[in-house]
Structure 1
């Protein structure tokens, strides 16, 4: 099975919201609890013909006042090595991320940018994926912690630019590829939408030794045929996320709420949303995950620059801190730092 085709190609992808610096500049906030240490558990760095987000851009966002100790770079199909065999081309992206991390060090940044890397490998290669993983481990120079294969698929909604086939998470060859991760000390970043959560739960049960982290709270859809059905979607999402939480090898990233697929429409205001407004909209999802998984299996993420089209970096972290205000000191530290540091094996 290939992960590069599927009938999603017949439907236009929901684009990311464009980043509008002038609009974002209309609202800023001082950082709440600026001393709270944070690991940004999910962000991208990229260089494409039509857009760029490099270390200098990330550090400018981090300068909003929060104590970002380290970040986790997640694959986004940038800077592939086009001269390499197709299955090995993603090593170029890892080398790009390492160069960006070195650039942050050269700038004297306190934040350890891209301290951990999540790369891409075609796990549908089955057992043959092991050879690719070994190549990526070498390319990452000790920083590779996991692999992401986007599985987002829906018959009526194309919520991602990726075009995987349907039911990828159930495919026997794909699972044979995922099984190659744990023996190499690697984890699996899972990105799927709420209608696919039972498939991920099945995968997690089949491979209990594999650490899995669900991206973006599992993408409860709020667009297309799901627009205007938020309560119905929430109840279906919560039912399936509760079942997923029963798998002790599964963690969850709290974030991604600025993507159009959630249908929150943060980008439609005359000014960017403030942190209280963001917190009010995302509260049911964040609180449900923390209740079901516990703080020790939840980690906050920025998903920048994807979410930057909807709100500012500092404002976003303030929204998260508002939601965690009632948590114990240990709970806060887990949500913002310790869970991600443990899952991605980051030094203190």
Structure 2
């Protein structure tokens, strides 16, 4: 099937973001941000000072989890150990951030290991754990692939990665190391993720970015049909108690909302109106104890600022109880990633 043009990510444009500011809502609400990245070059670069500026913008971010993005890999040595450089780099950055910053930055680290190596991946996992200074929590494998288009800056993985026997041989080793699995895949792949999670019930899984109900490529103009199919698949996978879900990532252009194309950034009210059906559906299906809000920064910074993002989530959950909010904003992430 002929590929459609690559769908670009929304670029981070500081001058565009500066056109709209908001004061933080519920500024005392404790938050763990369980999904952000660091990079020398992607999104114009996003390192310690950039992250600290966002974390210090008014919301009560107590802790964060770094998620792999292909950052800081070793430039030499065996290929299967080169991703350990990312863990080394992130642990070093986290170690330099003083306690006065007010946030336990990168308290958890989720790295990459090529699970398609099968059982041989154990050497990579052991090296990550050794390099992380007690911070290593799990593995994310980029599996988001579609026969009709390619999205983003990473090389497209093979289709049906989660069904590959060699991948599953490597995946099984996560249980022996006590590690979690982050799934970055599209809604069209949720059936395969369900099969994987069911086959290995002792491995905790979290679905990144609400399972990415697609709004680009062949799914343009199909929002209602995609929503119905995405919801059906989530209901199926939610029957597995080892699976949680991250509420976020909707600022990525692959969702098809198009806010990044406007002349000014969206307000939190506008984002809440567009995103609340998705967020509330996830909470209804999984329950607050298996849902965690995420920033996905700086990727979602192509759509809105850090204060506006968390204001959006807080508007969506305004009618929920204090206990439900504690689960959604802090406790689920703390349990899943074994944070202090």
User: Unaligned 5+ residue runs, structure 2?
Assistant: none
| Counterparts of 2:244 and 2:228, CA distance in 1 | 20
The alpha carbon displacement at 1:270 in A equals 1.5
| Counterparts of 1:50 and 1:195, CA distance in 2 | 27
| Counterparts of 1:336 and 1:50, CA distance in 2 | 26
**1:116 aligns to what?**
108
| Counterparts of 1:50 and 1:248, CA distance in 2 | 35
**2:69 aligns to what?**
76
Corresponding residue SS for 1:147:
strand
**1:238 aligns to what?**
231
Matched, 1:154 2:146: yes
Q: 1:128 to 1:196 in 2, by over 3 A?
A: same
- 1:103-252, aligned counterparts within 5 Å? 103-105=96-98, 108-160=100-152, 161-252=154-245
- 1:57-68, aligned counterparts within 5 Å? 57-68=50-61
| Counterparts of 1:92 and 1:13, CA distance in 2 | 29
Of residues 307, 310, 314, the one that matches 1:314 is 307
The 8 Å contact of residues 324 and 332 in structure 1, kept in 2 or not, is answered as: yes
Matched, 1:327 2:320: yes
Q: 1:223 to 1:295 in 2, by over 3 A?
A: same
- For this pair of structures, how many residues does the alignment match? 339
**2:20 aligns to what?**
27
User: Unaligned 5+ residue runs, structure 1?
Assistant: 1-6
Root mean square deviation of aligned Cα:
1.5
Q: 1:99 to 1:13 in 2, by over 3 A?
A: farther
| Counterparts of 2:218 and 2:61, CA distance in 1 | 38
The alpha carbon displacement at 1:55 in A equals 1.2
The alpha carbon displacement at 1:50 in A equals 7.6
The 8 Å contact of residues 150 and 162 in structure 1, kept in 2 or not, is answered as: no
Between 96-105 and 275-284, report the one with greater CA deviation.
Answer: 96-105
**What is the TM-score of this pair, normalised by structure 2?**
0.97
The 8 Å contact of residues 190 and 215 in structure 1, kept in 2 or not, is answered as: yes
The alpha carbon displacement at 1:162 in A equals 3.2
**What is the TM-score of this pair, normalised by structure 1?**
0.94
| Counterparts of 1:74 and 1:49, CA distance in 2 | 14
| Counterparts of 2:124 and 2:85, CA distance in 1 | 13
